[in-house]
Structures are given as C-alpha cells and as structure tokens.
Homo-oligomer: A and B are copies of this chain.
C-alpha cells in the first residue's frame, strides 16, 4: 500500500496553504513535513507541489489529493461500521465548489442541518462553473454546483432546479436615468454591473429585449457587493430573485422590465464512488433544494 503519512503531509500543506501551518496541523515540525514531501517526490520521480506562496499542487499532486479525499470518504464509511476503529475527531471534511450566488442564497439552509447531524466540516470553494468542473476532474473537490449538465468522467450530475434572475436597479437610479420611464433602447447607455468576464446574464437580458451590442459596466465579483452597489444606485444588474426579495418588497430596488426573468439551471455534480457521506448529501440536496428555490 501507499505510504499515507507522505500523502497526509502533502494534503496538510495544500489544505493549510503553507508548510508551517500544514506541519502545525499535523503536530509535526516543518522540516519533518518537508522531508516527507521530498521523499514522496523522489519515489514518484516528479514534483507534487510548486514551492510558491501558497504552495500549489502539480497535476501529479492533485491526483494524489484526489486519492486522499476518496480514501477519507471510504474510511468514514468504515468508521461508521466499526466505530471502535478510531477514537479521534469524528468530524469528516468534504470539499465542494459552488457558484457565488448559490453560496449567497440557498446553500446554507440546504446543508446546515445535515452538516450538524453528520458531523461534517465543509471546505467551500467559490468558482465559476468551468473552473468548478475542472477541479472535480482534477479531484480537488468531491462535488460541485454549477449550471452545466454534462458530468465529468467518474461523476454524476443531478438537476436541483432553476434560479430566476431579475434585472433590477435602485428606485433612485431609475428616476435619475429614466425620468419618463425605463427605455429599453437607452439601457446600454447607463452603467450596468457585471459579476466577471464570464457573466453573460446582462448581455442575454438585453439580447432577449432586442438590444444588441456593447454596454458600459462595473465589474464586481462579489454577490453581496453586487447587491450593495445596486442599492447604492451605481448601476443596474441581474441578481437572483431570492437574494433581493426584501429590497424588492420595500421598494429600494425595482425590476427594470417586469416579466423578463432569466432562468439559470443548477446541477449538483458528485463523484460516483464518493462513499455514503456524499450519497447522503446528494439525497439531502435532492430533497431540500427544489423547495428552497421556490
């Protein structure tokens, strides 16, 4: 069998973002951890991490981390069957990538009861969907929430539901730019807010209304920052209806063109051989998320 002490050293350095903290988490000296990783590399004949700050796993290192996480999930199943096996911490770790808007809206309510009941600690990573799926393929995360249906090799995908996005702006913004009512044709001349270079929601919304071409925009890669900028009247943008329900009710934010919601599908991608823990989380999400998405 593999020498798991070496793999655990690699895992700790990457998980804690450095040799010093990784070593501390294992109760080892930094030089002991460093030696284990060198030994691992000499056995493999290839580097497992790039010595930068924070250290990055190489392709070979990622493959090993993938393996470590799968083994841990299987060990957890084992401990459930043979509770006497391990008297140490009974908390399991699960690494999951998800889109920022899910984390900012329904995610916490969907998983909190399950995490407490199952004693699971989550490593959540915010990634746009291409990166999230690549991380699944590399084995850096065991599961991923994104808008793409096609699973990567070794994984399954499950439709959780659709998240409606609305085009909104502050009442004050609309009054300032459109004193005579919102003019679709003029919309590209007022500033929008866009989440990042890959966020095409605003473009799709304008195309759906028959407006083509470029428009001016702020870039804000933060879900809460996005809503704060909308509320402060700096631009218009597409946000999950879930996230601005209060602001719409109070009239702080208004829909630009009612009845033009964009539906974004959400899929749960998970390793096929992720053990009972991942299967349990999948069942929990399948049961809870459709209701949370309304």
Contacts and interface: CB of A to CB of B under 8 A. Distances in A.
B89 A124 contact: no
A196 B225 CA distance: 18
A71 to B, nearest CB: 20
Contact of A123 (B18, B53, B219): B219
A115 B54 CA distance: 35
Most B CB contacts (10 A, CB to CB) among A24, A108, A130, A214 go to: A108
Given A103-B224, A124-B218, A224-B223, A231 B108 contact: yes
A191 interface: yes
A101 to B, nearest CB: 9
A232 interface: yes
Given A112-B233, A112-B234, A222-B222, 4 more contacts: A17-B196, A108-B228, A124-B225, A125-B221
Interface of A: 15-18, 21, 24-25, 53-54, 89, 91, 100, 103-105, 107-109, 111-112, 115-116, 121-126, 130, 176, 191, 196-198, 214, 216-225, 228-229, 231-234
- The 3 A-B pairs of least Cβ separation, nearest first, read A17-B197, A112-B232, A103-B225
A234 B108 contact: yes
A155 B59 CA distance: 37
A243 B15 CA distance: 28
A198 B17 contact: yes
A246 to B, nearest CB: 10
A219 B124 contact: yes
Given A108-B228, A197-B17, A197-B54, A121 B221 contact: no
Contacts of A116: 176, 233-234
- Report how many copies the assembly holds: 2
A221 B17 CA distance: 14
B18 A197 contact: yes
22 contacts: A21-B197, A53-B130, A103-B220, A103-B225, A103-B228, A104-B224, A104-B228, A107-B225, A109-B232, A115-B218, A116-B233, A116-B234, A121-B216, A121-B217, A122-B218, A123-B219, A124-B218, A124-B220, A125-B219, A125-B221, A126-B225, A223-B225
Given A228-B109, A234-B115, A222 B104 contact: yes
Contacts of A219: 122-125
Query: Chain B CB within 10 Å — which of A15, A16, A24, A197 has the most?
Result: A197
Contacts of A196: 17
B21 A232 contact: no
A23 to B, nearest CB: 12
